Structure 1
């Protein structure tokens, strides 16, 4: 099936969260020292990640699913 008048927008680049680098450093520390509990040399990385997660804004609205919008938009082309 082909729809001639349909325009598709390119995907936006994903934004990195504020705690992403801290998470990467903690996981790197875990893999380096084989410290799966975070009680050894990775304790500082774990604490800094928890502080970052606590202080980030949790009131952001979740992105809503747009599937119904797209189905309604395509419905006029399928009739």
Structure 2
């Protein structure tokens, strides 16, 4: 018979989803190239696309917590 005191599984870490990353990068690069931090002239289009993306993109829901460790603990009690 195999005896395992505690069995745990670490969940895979997923990369966070960057919703408006391309638009933010475009605006920051425009700011770096033209030093137009107010968005009045040169970077106005980049700023508007970023604001539009931020207004329309839904916030992702939190992923449910995996229950594998709970089930392993339950099974461990029955095995011992």
5+ residue gaps, structure 1, are none
Alpha-carbon RMSD across the aligned residues, in angstroms, is 2.5
1:7 aligns to 2:9 (yes or no): yes
What displacement does 1:44 show?
Answer: 0.7
Q: Counterpart of 1:41?
A: 42
Greater radius of gyration (CA): 2
Q: How many residues align?
A: 63
Residue 4 of structure 1 deviates from its aligned partner by 5.1
Structure 1 length as normaliser, TM-score? Answer: 0.60
Q: Deviations over 1:31-63 (max 9, x none)?
A: 1111111112001100111111122225x44x3
Gaps of 5+ in 2: 74-80
Over 3 Å off, 4+ runs: none
TM normalised by structure 2 equals 0.60
